[in-house]
Amino acid sequence: MSTLLANSARISLAVIACLVIGAGSGFLTVDSISTWYVDINKPSFNPPNWVFGPVWTTLYTLMGVSAGIIWNQGFSNPQVKKALVVFSVHIVLNGLWSILFFGLKNPELAFVEILILLASMVYYTRMFYQIKPFTAWMQIPYLMWVSFASVLNGSIAWLN
């Protein structure tokens, strides 16, 4: 029973950490979404603003669950430790994107950063796959969304 509680606690902590980083970067940039972002040129495929909250909440939850499952494989395992360090760097990059795009209002710099973010995502997903394959499959929606967001970001940089 204590192992089940510990495993659940690690998953819960990982989910909370991901959601806090997402909420924190959103909180820091919320003013730009209702001002600057409204006025810039966007491509025709830009989703409505209400889509972003539910999508990101779902993605952060999936990321946290998968990271928690990896953590449950034993942090003393060097492969697990490395995967979680790479994942942690990735989550910081994820939060940084919002600051660059919305906070600094710099779509060009954010575009460069989102490409690095995407590469880090592929890297940690491969590492997760080697440890627990289904945790990598849990990243598919996130990979698809960030790939779309990369095209969207690049289009906004181009149009502005």
* Helices of type H across the chain: 2-34, 36-39, 52-71, 78-98, 107-131, 133-137, 140-159
Q: What is the pLDDT of residues 23-34, one digit of tens each?
A: 988 887 888 888
Q: What is the pTM of this model?
A: 0.93
pLDDT of residue 70: 98
List the domain boundaries for the chain.
Answer: 2-159
pLDDT at 1 over 80: no
Query: Under CATH, which number does the domain 2-159 receive?
Result: 1.20.1260.100
- At 146 the pLDDT is 98
